[in-house]
């Protein structure tokens, strides 16, 4: 349908590649929640969760309906949430065939029998050509809008074609609804081993969350969004939305092989012969592919797993000071969950690059409508109740910061994760890190022990100490916002070194 309508081009792999126009990523400054009872009492209002008056929402809704009424529409009916006890029946209505294809890939597809009596409990109306010309009067930040009305169970989107707004809009809705039922919504990957041991992988962009959770030796439950209920883990989605920039079959064969008929590529460069240049980021570095979960050969068809045995926080530390693997107490886990730390390279100035710390609450701050501590409290309770082990894994730099050190080898990271999953660290000796206090194993089978002590990998120990103190200060400054949770003294990095 996309090809017939001129919305995309065919690739040599039998997939369709589309472009999302000027918006190749989300527009977080253009998302709003209607401020009204009863939901307003549960929302953490501020720069992330911006308020919108009910009357302004009604005008945006009318604008979207006006644009849609005389156009061909594409509708997807399905579910968000693999667990029937918590799943959300939803309807997505779009002006683009490829966006309905995207929704078909990303959400859970109902059976024909389920469609007979299907009644949506939440609706997304996506009208890319609808622009709010009177945006200032409506209290918006631009002509673009993603407006959520929790009481009307409706999201209206205008002016942006980026498919991720549909996916993340529903994720955000679930992040509001599920904690009210005692379910922890999580921006994480999940997989399960042959012994039905479930593992969770939290991490911001660039930490390796999708790559490391897609393991040929374990069944993939999902790569991005899950809930943790009293029954265990369940995927919100029916597909995956993976980054493709720099994709190589040798490094990520499961994702590479999932790009086959039915998959949908976004903003990639397609050569004249139909082949895709995954190394080309000239359109955007945020090139993507969506595909149904069953495109992964070793996926878990139920989308569900038991209570996790291991909860892993991934960070890409460009400062080069965090250990490659460390065990966390429940208090430390709550601390790192609230911190949501990773680091990005800020750029080059006269040949010198400096890492920049990034903190994103719960590893998904843009999608958390309630106060961060509501999610942290749920995490702490579930870790304790189900005796799950928590770990910090650094996939970033060692031997020095970005520019002088080097990136952790993927083979070493995979070996450390395997040691966690296979219980090889059960009898390990752990030593608190002198600055970050996390518990560092003295040995991991198959890994050079020197790598486990980040200070030992630096040529200049004093330089390491200074950089570690710098990062510790950034952690503490960020965490000061959480008030009463500052009592987690055992989890705090030491800043008086």
Query: Annotated active-site positions, please?
Result: 26, 168, 187, 205, 209-210, 224, 288
Contacting residues for 222 by C-beta, under 8 A, at least 6 apart: 189, 190, 235, 236, 237, 240, 293, 303
Q: Distance between CA atoms of 370 and 182, rounded to whole angstroms?
A: 13
Helix 330-339 to helix 461-479 angle (10° resolution) is 80
Structure token pair of residue 439 = 């518990």
| Residue corresponding to tokens 């989308």 | 303
Pairing status of strand 88-94 against strand 122-127: parallel
Q: Distance between CA atoms of 403 and 405, rounded to whole angstroms?
A: 6
| Nearest to 214, CA basis, from 262, 164, 257 | 257
Phi then psi dihedrals of residue 95, to 5 deg: -95, -10
| Residue corresponding to tokens 């509001």 | 176
Q: Distance between CA atoms of 45 and 478, rounded to whole angstroms?
A: 18
Q: Distance between CA atoms of 187 and 337, rounded to whole angstroms?
A: 11
**CA triplet 205, 207, 208: central angle to 5 degrees?**
100
Start-to-end Cα distance in the chain:
62
Given a contact cutoff of 8 angstroms between Cβ atoms, the answer to whether 135 and 142 are in contact is yes
What's the 3-state SS for 142-205? CCCEEEEECCCCEEEEECCCCCHHHHHHHHHHHHHHHHHHCCEEEEEEEEECCCCCEEEEECCC
- Where are any strands of DSSP class E within 351-388? 352-359
Q: Distance between CA atoms of 68 and 58, rounded to whole angstroms?
A: 15
| Nearest to 88, CA basis, from 53, 124, 120 | 120
Within 13 Å, how many C-alpha atoms sit on residue 461's CB side?
3
Given a contact cutoff of 8 angstroms between Cβ atoms, the answer to whether 130 and 158 are in contact is yes
Q: Distance between CA atoms of 390 and 331, rounded to whole angstroms?
A: 10
Structure token pair of residue 46 = 């501020």
């Amino acid at each position: 349908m996309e090809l017939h309508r001129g919305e995309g081009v065919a690739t040599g792999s039998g997939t369709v590649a589309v472009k999302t126009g000027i918006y190749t990523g989300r527009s977080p400054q253009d998302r709003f929640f209607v401020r009204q009872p009863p939901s307003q009492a549960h929302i953490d209002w501020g720069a992330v969760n911006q308020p919108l008056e009910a009357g302004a929402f009604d005008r945006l809704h009318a604008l979207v309906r006006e644009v849609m009424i005389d156009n061909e529409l594409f509708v997807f009916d399905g579910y968000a949430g693999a667990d029937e006890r918590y799943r959300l029946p939803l309807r997505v209505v779009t002006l683009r065939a490829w966006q309905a294809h995207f929704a078909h890939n990303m959400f859970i597809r109902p059976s024909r029998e389920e469609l007979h009596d299907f009644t949506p409990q939440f609706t997304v109306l996506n009208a890319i050509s609808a622009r709010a010309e009177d945006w200032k009067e409506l209290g918006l930040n631009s002509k673009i809008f993603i407006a959520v009305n929790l009481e009307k169970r409706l999201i209206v989107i205008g002016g942006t074609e980026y498919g991720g707004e549909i996916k993340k809009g529903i994720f955000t809705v679930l992040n509001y609804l599920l904690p009210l039922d005692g379910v922890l919504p999580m921006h994480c990957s999940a997989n399960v081993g042959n012994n039905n041991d479930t593992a969770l992988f939290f991490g911001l962009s660039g930490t390796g969350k999708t790559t490391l959770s897609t393991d040929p030796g374990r069944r993939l439950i999902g790569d991005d969004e899950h809930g943790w209920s009293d029954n265990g883990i369940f995927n919100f989605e029916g597909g995956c939305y993976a980054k493709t920039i720099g994709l190589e079959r040798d490094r990520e064969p499961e994702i590479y092989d999932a790009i086959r008929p039915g998959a949908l590529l976004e903003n990639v460069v397609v050569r004249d012969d139909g082949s895709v240049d995954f190394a080309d980021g000239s359109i955007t570095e945020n090139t993507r592919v969506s595909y149904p979960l069953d495109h992964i050969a070793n996926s878990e068809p139920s989308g569900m797993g038991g209570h996790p045995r291991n909860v892993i926080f991934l960070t890409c530390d460009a400062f080069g000071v965090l250990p490659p693997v460390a065990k966390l107490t429940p208090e430390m886990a709550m601390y790192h969950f609230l911190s949501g730390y990773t680091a990005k390279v800020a750029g080059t100035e006269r040949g010198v690059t400096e890492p920049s710390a990034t903190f994103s609450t719960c590893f998904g701050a843009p999608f958390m409508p309630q106060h961060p501590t509501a999610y942290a409290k749920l995490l702490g309770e579930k870790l304790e109740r189900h005796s799950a082990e928590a770990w910090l894994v650094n996939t970033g730099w060692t031997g020095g910061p970005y520019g002088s050190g080097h990136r952790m080898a993927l083979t070493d990271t995979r070996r450390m994760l395997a040691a966690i999953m296979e219980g090889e660290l059960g009898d390990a000796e752990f030593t608190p890190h002198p600055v970050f206090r996390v518990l560092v194993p003295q040995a991991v089978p198959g890994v050079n022990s020197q790598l486990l002590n980040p200070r030992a990998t630096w040529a200049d120990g004093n330089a390491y100490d200074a950089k570690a103190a710098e990062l510790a200060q950034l952690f503490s400054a960020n965490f000061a916002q959480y008030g009463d949770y500052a009592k987690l003294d055992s989890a705090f990095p030491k800043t008086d070194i």
